[in-house]
Amino acid sequence: MNVTIVGTGYVGLVTGACLAELGNNVFCLDLDRNKIDLLNAGGIPIHEPGLEEVLLRNVEEGRLTFSCDVAASVAFADLQFIAVGTPPDEDGSADLKYVLAAARAIGRHMDRFKVIVDKSTVPVGTAQEVAAVVREELAKRGREDIAFSVASNPEFLKEGAAIDDFMRPDRIVLGVDDDEPGQRALALLRELYRPFNRNHERTRVMDVRSAEFTKYAANAMLATRISFMNELANLADRVGADIELVRQGIGSDPRIGYSFLYAGTGYGGSCFPKDVDALCRTAQAHGLPLQVLTAVQRVNQAQKHVLLDKIRAQFGRRLAGRTFAVWGLAFKPGTDDMREAPSRLVIGALLRAGARVRAHDPVAQEQAARVLADDLQDHPELLRNITFVAKPLDAVTGADALVLLTEWKIYKSPNLRAMKDAMRTSLVLDGRNLYEPHAMAQAGFTYLGIGRNNRA
Ligand code: NAD
């Protein structure tokens, strides 16, 4: 089938590459000329395991095209996926300007039936807004005769495992209208996703509003589990229990399960914070403030400061002149995405307090340098106090403490003796509970995890 993907970010690029891998012809549109030039030169704008290989293969086999040509992208396919960003507006609700601009462009150029598929995460009711702008554009050209349908197909992939998630989805949610264009849309989408249903049916067909809601409900549930565990971890610290043992104790109950129960430094990334916020805004607009999710957000905000509080408890407020090693900058392993990464808050606070930072991340250093320069615009001179190093051990050399912020594999089994010898003191602040407290104590470290202090 022919498919157009509008937006070649984390979601659009992965969707395009994977659909091409299944034999479809895919036209990827982006308005960012630099991104398109890079992709056409064989480069890749994001780090995502396995993506480069799939991209190169499908470009070579002629199934994948990258372009800024809007008219050509609309003409290319009946299926037009919108996968552009939906960042938070000033008040926290989802900003739909990119989605509506993409929809408008489709309406402006289409000359036959189209299915416009919202793959971006968008609030309930957005499909209606998309349909309205398309209708407006058709009316401007006197082409109200052209039929179209707006469907919802939210994306559930996780950065860092995006190719795998897309290729082996737990479910494919399709929100379509009951009318004739809606059913035509459903037939096309079913055909596109047929290869994923070979073993068993993974498609969940529903009305558009429920599909839009499903994505927010999923992210809100996951964020809730994280904040729940973070709050209990803080209590574990007070009462002298180990949250890791508690996690395993409750996770073994199949009604609870093990996933998404890790205590840490709060959730970040491009999705959870903005999606939870957007859902809360939607609820407020409907006069039904969501009390659980409001608390989830509040707990998360506080959790981002937990490591800084622990640092201050160790060193007092006098951080000037101290050196902190930071392992992990990306908001999670497997990606270079720095959106809402806890490392930004921690490093920003350390630098502002006059400390020096020696930072390591296997892939996100370049992105981190860029976003930190943005974050510290008011004090650019502080950037002189952060050094990005090539190896984890280089970061800890001469450091007063190690702060672990992303659970990359490379940090899982460090050479503790070499670490101890290299560091000035032996304080390890583990924001991901990656290490065993008794092993760290045995190796001579003062170890502070999240909710594990009884065994420090
Ligand atoms: P992104 O910021 O990485 O990419 C968006 C891309 O869209 C950019 O390259 C931008 O240049 C392009 N763009 C903007 N307006 C355009 C237009 N009118 N025409 C063509 N291109 C345009 O965003 P992302 O992380 O891929 O997220 C996209 C959507 O998917 C968001 O709604 C997000 O919430 C959702 N989502 C993201 C993830 C994730 O893990 N990143 C997972 C599931 C869902």
Assess whether the C-beta atom of 11 lies below 6 angstroms from ligand 1: yes
The domain of 254 spans 223-455
pLDDT of 454 higher than 60: no
Residue 101 placed within a domain = yes
Token pair 């420090």 in the structure block, residue: 456
Q: What is the mean pLDDT of residues 220-247?
A: 97
C-alpha pair distances (Å), 1 with each of 201, 223, 231 = 20, 36, 48
Tell whether residue 261 is among the known ligand binding residues: yes
Per-residue pLDDT tens digits for 66-112: 999 999 999 999 999 999 999 999 999 999 999 999 999 999 999 99
Total domain count for the chain? 2
Assess whether the C-beta atom of 98 lies below 6 angstroms from ligand 1: yes
Is 250 in the same domain as 186? no
Residue among 4, 5, 11 to mutate when testing ligand 1 (max atoms within 8 A of CB)? 11
Is 147 in the same domain as 296? no
DSSP state for residue 188 in the 8-state scheme = H
Q: Tell me, what's the pLDDT at 317?
A: 79
Last residue of a domain, one of 178, 205, 232: 205
Residue 437 placed within a domain = yes
Per-residue pLDDT tens digits for 345-396: 999 999 999 999 999 999 999 999 999 999 999 999 999 999 999 999 999 9
Is 192 in the same domain as 242? no
Tell whether residue 265 is among the known ligand binding residues: no
Give the residue among 138, 135, 156, 19 at the shortest CA–CA distance from 77: 19
Which CATH number fits the domain that encloses residue 121?
A: 3.40.50.720
Of the candidates 18, 28, 68, 271, the residue annotated as catalytic is 271
How many of the other CB atoms lie within 10 Å of CB of 397? 17
Q: Tell me, what's the pLDDT at 388?
A: 98
Which of ligand 1's atoms lies nearest the C-alpha of 102? 18
Asked whether the CA dihedral 215, 217, 218, 224 is positive or negative, the reply is positive
Predicted interface score ipTM higher than 0.90:
yes
Residue 215 placed within a domain = no
For ligand 1, the distance from its centroid to the CA atom of residue 373, given in whole angstroms, is 23
Give yes or no for a contact between 438 and 418, defined as CB atoms under 8 angstroms apart: no
Q: Tell me, what's the pLDDT at 455?
A: 42
Residue 211 placed within a domain = no
Residue 342 placed within a domain = yes
Is 94 in the same domain as 187? yes
Is 187 in the same domain as 271? no
Tell whether residue 304 is among the known ligand binding residues: no
Is 148 in the same domain as 293? no
Residue among 4, 10, 158, 277 to mutate when testing ligand 1 (max atoms within 8 A of CB)? 10
- Tell the residue nearest (CA) to atom 15 of ligand 1: 98
Residue 213 placed within a domain = no
Is 437 in the same domain as 396? yes
Last residue of a domain, one of 205, 231, 249: 205
Assess whether the C-beta atom of 10 lies below 6 angstroms from ligand 1: yes
Residue among 5, 65, 84 to mutate when testing ligand 1 (max atoms within 8 A of CB)? 84
Is 169 in the same domain as 22? yes
What pTM was estimated for this model as a whole? 0.96
Is 271 in the same domain as 193? no
Give yes or no for a contact between 402 and 423, defined as CB atoms under 8 angstroms apart: yes
Q: Tell me, what's the pLDDT at 273?
A: 96
C-alpha pair distances (Å), 262 with each of 333, 344, 404, 433, 441 = 14, 20, 15, 8, 22
Which residues lie below 8 Å from residue 41, measured CB to CB, with a gap of 6+?
none
Is 198 in the same domain as 233? no
Is 23 in the same domain as 154? yes
156 residue type, one letter: F
pLDDT of 237 higher than 70: yes
Last residue of a domain, one of 205, 237, 258: 205
Residue 320 placed within a domain = yes
Q: Tell me, what's the pLDDT at 318?
A: 87
pLDDT of 190 higher than 50: yes
pLDDT of 198 higher than 50: yes
Is 174 in the same domain as 299? no
pLDDT of 436 higher than 90: yes
pLDDT of 456 higher than 60: no
Assess whether the C-beta atom of 386 lies below 6 angstroms from ligand 1: no
Assess whether the C-beta atom of 101 lies below 6 angstroms from ligand 1: yes
Tell whether residue 60 is among the known ligand binding residues: no
- For the chain, what is the mean pLDDT? 96
Determine whether 271 is an active site residue. Answer: yes
- Tell the residue nearest (CA) to atom 27 of ligand 1: 85
For ligand 1, the distance from its centroid to the CA atom of residue 86, given in whole angstroms, is 7
Residue 304 placed within a domain = yes
